[in-house]
């Protein structure tokens, strides 16, 4: 059959593998991830993983990249929708207090990403890209230093609130965001 182009039987298989990898990381931690666990979670043959990914590091890098892009898209959409500086401040509060970034699963996965990147320097590029995207979204409304401070505030409050028995409430977070923005860091 000349001229015939055969497409993949399962065009979403790679994405399912990446989603399953994140699920396995969330359940077991990056250190305990195996091809077998991911294949089972994705419902694909074990050989499919090596078809798409040379090794575990490439697979986890792609999975963490998918996480970063997904969260950055939601994060950016909130800030892009803001038409005024006050709306942008409210968007930052929503990012911190809502479930855009700070879901239990996303926080757990981000902890795993930080730890994995610490031990695998080439994965730091994923984190740097995520930080650039976050700061770029914030820079639509704030000067670069304030955007950097707000980005750190988003992560810091999210991390602290995930473990604090009395998380900082929305009104308190809004007051701190206003203080950072008003100070023109």
Helix-strand-coil split of the chain, %, nearest 5: 75, 0, 25
User: Which has more pLDDT, 107 or 82?
Assistant: 82
Q: List Cβ neighbours of 147 (8 Å cut-off, separation of 6 or more).
A: 135, 138, 139
Residue found by looking up tokens 């305990």 in the block: 32
Q: What is the mean pLDDT of residues 142-146?
A: 95
> Across the chain, what does the average pLDDT equal?
89
Q: Which pLDDT value is given to residue 8?
A: 57
Q: Which pLDDT value is given to residue 175?
A: 96
Q: What is the mean pLDDT of residues 136-159?
A: 94
Q: What is the mean pLDDT of residues 107-128?
A: 89
Q: What is the mean pLDDT of residues 81-94?
A: 96
pLDDT-above-90 percentage for the chain: 66
How far, in Å, CA of 33 to CA of 177, rounded?
Answer: 38
Q: Is the pLDDT of residue 93 over 90?
A: yes
Task: Report yes or no: 63 and 49 within 8 Å, Cβ to Cβ.
Answer: no
Q: Residue 149: which of 161, 159, 162, 139 has the closest Cα? A: 139
Task: Give tens-digit pLDDT for 2-19.
Answer: 443 434 577 899 999 999
Task: Give tens-digit pLDDT for 29-67.
Answer: 999 999 999 999 999 999 999 999 999 999 999 999 999
How far, in Å, CA of 4 to CA of 38, rounded?
Answer: 33
Q: What is the mean pLDDT of residues 159-176?
A: 91
Q: Which pLDDT value is given to residue 5?
A: 41
Task: Report yes or no: 107 and 71 within 8 Å, Cβ to Cβ.
Answer: no
Other Cβ atoms within 10 Å of 37 Cβ, number: 17
How far, in Å, CA of 145 to CA of 71, rounded?
Answer: 22
Task: Report yes or no: 95 and 101 within 8 Å, Cβ to Cβ.
Answer: yes
Q: How confident is the model at residue 102 (pLDDT cuts 50, 70, 90)?
A: low
Instruction: Tell me how far CA of residue 144 lies from CA of 132, 135, 147, 184, in angstroms.
Output: 11, 8, 5, 10
Q: List Cβ neighbours of 183 (8 Å cut-off, separation of 6 or more).
A: none
Q: Residue 17: which of 40, 71, 70, 126 has the closest Cα? A: 40
How far, in Å, CA of 108 to CA of 28, rounded?
Answer: 11
- Sign of the dihedral through C-alpha 110, 74, 142, 169: negative
User: Which has more pLDDT, 84 or 121?
Assistant: 84
pTM, two decimal places = 0.84
């Amino acid at each position: 059959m000349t001229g015939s182009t055969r497409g993949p039987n399962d065009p979403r298989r790679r994405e399912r593998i990446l989603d399953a990898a994140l699920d396995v990381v969330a359940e077991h931690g990056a250190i305990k991830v195996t091809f077998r666990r991911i294949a089972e979670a994705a419902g694909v043959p074990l050989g499919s993983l090596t078809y798409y990914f040379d090794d575990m590091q490439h697979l986890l890098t792609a999975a963490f990249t998918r996480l970063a892009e997904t969260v950055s898209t939601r994060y950016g959409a909130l800030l892009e929708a803001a038409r005024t500086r006050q709306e942008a401040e409210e968007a930052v509060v929503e990012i911190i207090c809502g479930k855009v970034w700070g879901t239990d699963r996303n926080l757990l996965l981000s902890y795993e990403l930080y730890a994995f990147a610490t031990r695998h320097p080439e994965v730091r590029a994923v984190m740097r890209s995520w930080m650039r995207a976050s700061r770029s979204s914030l820079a639509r409304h704030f000067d670069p230093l304030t955007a950097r401070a707000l980005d750190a505030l988003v992560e810091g409050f999210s991390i602290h609130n995930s473990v604090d028995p009395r998380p900082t409430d929305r009104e308190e977070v809004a007051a701190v965001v206003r203080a950072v923005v008003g100070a023109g860091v």
